[in-house]
Amino acid sequence: MDPSQSAPLSLAERRLAWLDARQRVLAQNIAHADTPGYRPRDLPDFAKLVLRQGGPSVSLLRTDTHHLATARDPRARVDRQAMEVTPNGNAVSLDKEAMKVADTDSAHALAVGLHRRWLGLFRTALGRTQ
């Protein structure tokens, strides 16, 4: 079995590629913070992208009638934030973009950590220390 072809590593690599692309898009948004008429961009959510492409799916097993159902709550709403537009038509909010960059950085660290730990398990199983 090739450990680099396992499902967790494959998913971590896809996540890292998505995070890299998102970081480039967010950097462009910040670079255009003073460009008149510029609208910020973002990538579609990774979870939705993976599900749409037929990635690994996980479903919850309901073993007891008291467990929560997996159906989405009809009261849940999609949070649609109104964009604030400056007089020159620019809609980039540096605060929001900085928060997205920080979230992306944290997610990147998590995916890299998962990748390292998963390979570390195989090294340990093979009796290697490095």
Segment 4-45, tens digit of pLDDT: 566 777 888 888 988 998 898 889 989 988 889 888 888 888
Structure confidence at residue 54 as a pLDDT band (50, 70, 90) = low
Residue 61: count other Cβ atoms within 10 Å of its Cβ: 7
Nearest to 119 by CA among 17, 5, 20, 15: 5
Segment 107-127, tens digit of pLDDT: 999 989 988 888 888 888 888
Q: Where are the beta strands (DSSP E) in the chain?
A: none
pLDDT of residue 73: 37
- Determine if residue 54 is left, alpha or beta; phi over 0 gives left, psi from -120 to 50 gives alpha, anything else beta: left
